[in-house]
Structure 1
Amino acid sequence: MFVLTVDQHDSRRTTDRVPELIAALHDVPLRLRPERTAGDEVQMLADSADPVLACVLRMLELGGWSVGVGIGPVELPLPASVREGRGDAFIAARRAVESARRTSSIPVSVRTADPRQREQTEELQALLRLVGREVTSRKPGQWRVVHAMREDPSATQAQIAERLEVTQQTVSRAFTTSGWREEQAVHPLVRRLLAMLDLTSDRSMDRPGHLP
C-alpha cells in the first residue's frame, strides 16, 4: 500500500490551502480519500502506482507542498477514514514528509517499511525529484499547452493553437521547452518502481510500529 502525507509550506504566513489541494485531487482514484489530519497536513492512501504518481504530479504543479510517500503494509480491513489508518506505510510516510520538509529543491521524499529496499527507494526518489524539476520549472504559457495536450492527446498542434488562440509556432515552442514529452517518457518507469516496491514489501510486517 501507499500512504501519502503532505504538509503545506509556511502555513503560518500563508492562507490555508488544504481545501485547494483536496479539490485538485477530487478525481484521482484513491482507496482512502485525502483528509486534513492535523493543521495544514493532508493524508491519503492508494493501492496502486497510478494514483500515487497522479497525486505527486498535481501537488508539484500546485507548489507549496512537502510530499512524503510511504510504501509498506497497513492494517486490514481498511477504515472508512484515512485518519484511522494504521500500519508501517503510515510510519514510513511520516518519515518521508519530515525528510521532504528538509529538502530545499524538490520537496518529495520516499520511504519504505522494508529496510532491504533502501537502494530501490533512493532510485525512485531521485527519479521523482528529476520529474519534479521539470514540472516546477514550467512557465504559465507552457502549462497552457501542456494542459491542452492532456485534455485532448489526439489534437494536433494546429488545433491546440486555434483553441488557445495563439500561433502554431507558439504551441510548438512551448511544447518543446516544457519537457512534457520527456516527462511522459519517464512515467512508466516511475510506475514500475512504485509497483515493484509495493510487490516486494515484506508482507510479514503486518503490525503497526514494526518499522525500525
Structure 2
Amino acid sequence: MIVLTIDQRGSTYADDRVPEVLAELADLTRGRDGVVVRFERTVGDEVQGILAPGRAGAQLAVDLTLHLLRDQGWSVGIGVGQVEGPLPAVSREARGFAFYRARDAVERAKTRGRGTSVAVEGPPPGAGDLVTAESVTAESVTAEPVTAEPGETSSEPSRPDLAAEVEALLRLLAAIRARRTPQGWEVADTLASLADKPGRQRIVAQSLHVSEQAVSQRVRAALWQEEEAVRPVVVRLLAELSGSVGPEPAEPAVRSTTKKRAKS
C-alpha cells in the first residue's frame, strides 16, 4: 500500500487549511482509480489517506504530491509497505509498516524548503527477497558458501533504493515547478488541459491571445516538456516500490497478520 501523510507548514501561526485541502483532494481523486481509504484529518493539521499498490495508486500519489507542493504550504510524506487488515473506514484507525514509514517521511519532509518538502520511505533494498521455509532445500543448506577471492568483487548486482530514487525525482520536479513563473504556469496549465496531439501549442496561443513563438518560449523556460518526460518514470518506480507494476487486483491485497504490532 501507499500511504500519504500531509502536514500543514507553519500551522502554528496560520489559519487551519485542512478543510480546504480535503476539499481539493476529494475533487482531485473523484472518479479516479487508486484510492483505498479516502483522505481525512488524522490529528491537528495533518491529513492522511491510503492508496492502492501498483500503477493507479502510484500515479495518483505523484499527481497529488506535486499538486500539494505547488501550493508550498504542505509537507508530504509517502510511506510504502504493508497495512494491517481488515482496512478501517478511516485511515487514522489503520496500522502497519506503511504508516510508520509515512510518519518518518513527513518528519523528514518538514526539514526541507518550501516547494520541495517531500520525502519517501519504503522497505529497505532487497527486503522482498526473504527466504521462506519452502525455498530452503537440503542442497542449499549443505552447499558451501560462495565467497569472493581477495581483490575480487561480487558479480551480484546491488538492489536499487527505489524509495530514494522516487524521492530524488519528486524533489527535482518540485524544484523545477517552484521556479516556474506565472506566465509559465499559465501555459503549462493550459497544455495540461488539452489532449496530447499535434497543434496543442497553437491552441494554447489562441486561448491566451499570444503568438505561438511566445508559447514555445514559455514552454522552454518552464521546462514543461522535461517535467512531462520525467513524471512517468517516477510513477513506474513508485509502482515497482509498492510491489506491482502489472495489472492490479480487483480489490487491494492486504495481508492479514498475526505478528505482534510494531510500536510507533
Q: TM-score, normalization: structure 2?
A: 0.72
- The number of residue pairs the alignment matches comes to 210
**Of 33, 38, 43, which aligns to 2:43?**
38
**Of 215, 221, 234, which aligns to 1:177?**
221
Counterpart residue number, 1:72? 81
- Show structure 1 runs of 4+ deviating over 3 A: 113-118, 203-212
**Of 145, 163, 181, which aligns to 2:187?**
145
Q: Is 1:186 aligned to 2:239, yes or no? A: no
What pairs with 1:117-156 in structure 2 (closer than 5 Å)?
119-153=161-195, 154=197, 156=200
Counterpart residue number, 2:241? 197
Which secondary structure does the structure 1 equivalent of 2:70 belong to? Answer: helix
Q: Is 1:20 aligned to 2:20, yes or no? A: yes
**RMSD value over aligned CA atoms?**
2.4
Alignment gaps of 5+ in structure 2: 128-159, 245-253
Alignment gaps of 5+ in structure 1: none
With over 3 angstroms needed to count, the CA separation of the structure-2 counterparts of 1:181 and 1:87, relative to structure 1, is: same
Which secondary structure does the structure 2 equivalent of 1:77 belong to? Answer: coil
Report the Cα distance in structure 2 between the residues aligned to 1:176 and 1:19, rounded to whole angstroms. 36
Q: Deviations along 1:60-83, whole A, 9 cap, x unmatched?
A: 112111110000010122211122
**Of 112, 117, 135, which aligns to 2:122?**
112
Which secondary structure does the structure 2 equivalent of 1:80 belong to? Answer: coil
Report the Cα distance in structure 2 between the residues aligned to 1:81 and 1:196, rounded to whole angstroms. 26
Q: CA deviation at 1:137?
A: 1.4
With over 3 angstroms needed to count, the CA separation of the structure-2 counterparts of 1:107 and 1:125, relative to structure 1, is: same
Counterpart residue number, 2:2? 2
With over 3 angstroms needed to count, the CA separation of the structure-2 counterparts of 1:193 and 1:139, relative to structure 1, is: same
With over 3 angstroms needed to count, the CA separation of the structure-2 counterparts of 1:204 and 1:45, relative to structure 1, is: closer
Q: TM-score, normalization: structure 1?
A: 0.89
Report the Cα distance in structure 1 between the residues aligned to 2:172 and 2:13, rounded to whole angstroms. 29
Report the Cα distance in structure 1 between the residues aligned to 2:79 and 2:261, rounded to whole angstroms. 14
Q: CA deviation at 1:182?
A: 0.5
Whether the 8 Å contact between 1:70 and 1:113 is mirrored in structure 2 is: no
